[in-house]
Chain A
Amino acid sequence: MDSDIRVELYRMMVLIRTYEEAILREYHADKQPVFDIGAGLVPGEMHLSAGQEPVAAGVCAHLGSGDAVTAPHRPHHVAIAHGVNLDAMTAEIFGRETGLGRGRGGHMHLFDPAAHFSCSGIIAEGMPAALGQAFAFQRRGTDRVAVAFAGEGAANQGAFHESLNLAALWKLPVVFVIEDNDWGISVPRSASTSVPSNGVRGAAYDIPGERVPDNSVEGVHQAAGRAVARARAGQGPSLIEVHTLRLWGHFEGDPQAYRDDLDGVPGRDPIPTYESTLTEAGLLDPERISKIHEDASVRVEQAISFAKDSPIPSGEQARDHVFAQEAHR
């Protein structure tokens, strides 16, 4: 694998982790001493993606800004890897007028039309829109693709199966990516899913399906490379499941008392693992590692500052944007 790509994958994972750690810090900073989910500068549910960086980094490395991406309720890693405007995304999470949705959306509802990015808080229901984006790309004769991310819980939803069938039927340039982080909130995969690999579900729709078993960013990168190339070549959709890791709770404030795998979690963190791999390969050294972290931190703190310095929307404007302004046609 190309050395620059390997370092770039590492750099992206570090940027994502740095971002999630900063949001974690900001989220809890003003919810002390008693946790109140509705309090503080960043209120509401917060689903952070630490541990799942390899999926976003490995897939999105194959995409350009003209390609479309849909993500679920845990969207930050995917948004960052796809190049969503970080300042505007952060401002949205802080509910500011400069946010992607001018503070109307929040962290589960991020829309960046420049990056053809959207996400949805309803399990599996963000996936069908990717079909429509792929349909538009196909009709316009482009080789652009759409990637639909979802968790392993989503693979038991009707929307997932309907989408696979329709995408396969119409040979739409879509890649379906299932992030299996073992847990549907508190329900383990073993209690929700009848198959050991959701990759096998591709066979039900006569499309390629595979499972990347080890949360390896390079494994994801290779699988996604095949799937994206296939979509760009007009050969239709593919399905990839990645066995990834939910390093933290389902949402912030989740005590995770149900979780029996916590002891082993730190050892499964994909970033130190990959850091060692690249160090052994001579691509990273302590100085370079520290520079990558420092650059990430500067970028993330700039986004946090941008958000905090941005105006808060006025309650008088709460009724704006329900409908598009008068048609210009």
Chain B
Amino acid sequence: MTATTSAPTTRRLTTARAMSEGIAQEMGRDEGVFVMGEDVGAYGGIFGSTGGLLEKFGATRVLDTPISETAFIGLGIGAAVEGMRPIVELMFADFFGVCMDQIYNHMAKIHFESGGKVRVPMVLTTAVGGGYSDGAQHSQCLWGTFAHLPGMKVVVPSNPADAKGLMISAIRDDSPVVYMFHKGVMGLPWMAKNPRATGPVPEEPYGVPIGEAAVVREGADVTVVTLSLSVHHTLDVAEEMSSRGVGVEVIDLRSLVPLDTATVLNSVHKTGRLVIVDEDYQSFGLSGEIAARVAEVDPRMLRAPLARVAVPDVPIPYARTLEQAVLPTRERITAAIDGVLSQ
């Protein structure tokens, strides 16, 4: 990479650069790793996830595909079955409708249907999330949909260091991993971004374990379980609330499958109060799942009813005022925390 800081531990990268660095290091280590998708070559990925890879590894290992998601995701599956390690990009998660059969009926099920005899070690990367007025077909998170269907691991990094570590872990994993990155955390120059979209990233290869959440801020009064861009909004809120003397503990799930239930329960046990912030649709999804896992173990851990901040069950609207009204904004998160604390 071309980062020019002296101390590796303080070197700062955008999430996009961290992702592509993780891919590049694995491609250098393992000939079987290759990248495939729409505009992953000369463009470097519409959201920067494959920047610089074509220049480094050439068109035999970084392949632009036709707009044929069923064919090229299926191609990735076949190559993985034969022992290669494809990284296949679905440009927007919203596009899963044209290729979901390959994803959930094939990529996710072959290992099980073969009684564990056929492995599908592939990574399906895909961009998620809204907040920039891209409308109902280009703004969804949908991670609850993927996590609902058995057979694929699902990871959702929120920051550069996790983006690199989860990418390396995903590539090395022998199961299919869906790697969902929010456009708002990539650090793109052409989209408003949170300052945490750029952060320190170790230069050497390392893995972040799949299935481990991170307590990204400790606090005694209320637990907020969240992921992806909402982690940043929640940290902003937590910072503001600390000046009011409120201790907000923030959990970044990082992985949905497997889900780190223990870290959630430990925190809720400590604080007794829970807010779940999820940019996916509210009903039948992640926020309900977290609530159920707490209730299944001991609902008496909660000293007040929990609150959910999610997208109400409407498609993501286009107009800024309408879109901001349904996304989990700092204002909605603040109100939810205040509500839980007031009971």
Binding site for B on A (CB under 8 A): 68, 99-106, 109, 111, 113, 116, 118, 120, 122, 125-137, 139, 146, 158-159, 162-163, 165-166, 169, 320-325, 327-329
Contact = CB atoms under 8 A, between A and B. Distances in A.
Interface string B92-122: 0000001001100110011111111111010
B75 A135 contact: yes
A129 B103 CA distance: 12
B303 interface: no
Which 4 residue pairs spanning A and B have beta carbons closest together? A128-B74, A132-B78, A102-B115, A162-B71
A323 B151 contact: yes
B246 interface: no
Nearest to B74: A128
Given A122-B101, A139-B84, A323 B153 contact: yes
B77 A132 contact: yes
Contacts of B65: 166
Contact of B74 (A100, A131, A323): A131
Contacts, number: 150
A68 B77 CA distance: 13
B70 A102 contact: no
B78 A128 contact: yes
Given A129-B78, A129-B106, A133-B81, A165 B68 contact: yes
Contacts of A125: 70, 74, 101-102, 105-106
Nearest to B174: A324
Contacts of A99: 115
Contacts of A323: 111, 151, 153, 175
B240 interface: no
A129 B120 CA distance: 11
Given A125-B102, A132-B74, A166-B65, 16 more contacts: A105-B115, A109-B113, A109-B114, A118-B81, A129-B75, A132-B81, A132-B82, A133-B78, A135-B79, A159-B101, A166-B66, A166-B75, A321-B114, A323-B151, A327-B173, A329-B172
A322 B82 contact: no
Nearest to B76: A132
Most buried by B among A100, A104, A134, A325: A104
A155 to B, nearest CB: 15
B73 to A, nearest CB: 7
A131 B71 CA distance: 8
B174 A325 contact: yes
Contacts of A162: 66, 68, 70-71
Contacts of A113: 81, 114, 117-118
Contacts of A103: 115
A329 B117 CA distance: 17
B306 interface: no
B326 interface: no
A165 B78 CA distance: 17
A100 B117 contact: yes
A128 B116 contact: no
A116 B82 contact: yes
B82 A136 contact: yes
Interface residues of B, number: 44
Contacts of B114: 100-101, 104-105, 109, 111, 113, 321
A133 B98 CA distance: 22
A111 B111 CA distance: 9
B200 interface: no
28 contacts: A100-B114, A101-B115, A104-B112, A104-B114, A109-B109, A111-B117, A111-B118, A113-B81, A122-B105, A125-B70, A126-B106, A128-B70, A128-B72, A129-B77, A129-B78, A132-B75, A132-B79, A132-B84, A134-B78, A137-B82, A158-B70, A163-B70, A321-B111, A324-B111, A324-B116, A324-B119, A327-B174, A329-B172
A120 B98 CA distance: 18
A134 B77 CA distance: 11
Contact of A120 (B82, B106, B121, B174): B106
Given A120-B106, A166-B66, A131 B78 contact: yes
B80 interface: yes
B205 interface: no
B71 A159 contact: yes
A269 to B, nearest CB: 33
A190 to B, nearest CB: 27
Given A122-B105, A129-B81, A163 B174 contact: no
B173 A128 contact: no
B305 interface: no
Contact of B175 (A100, A128, A166, A324): A324
Contacts of A68: 78, 82
Contacts of A163: 70-71, 74
Nearest to A109: B113
B74 A159 contact: yes
A102 B116 contact: yes
B222 to A, nearest CB: 33
A113 B77 CA distance: 14
A109 B173 CA distance: 24
B219 interface: no
Contacts of A116: 82
A127 B116 contact: no
A111 B110 contact: yes
B150 interface: yes
A68 B79 CA distance: 11
Contacts of A130: 78
Contacts of A135: 75, 78-79, 84
B83 interface: yes
Contacts of B86: 132
A320 B113 CA distance: 11
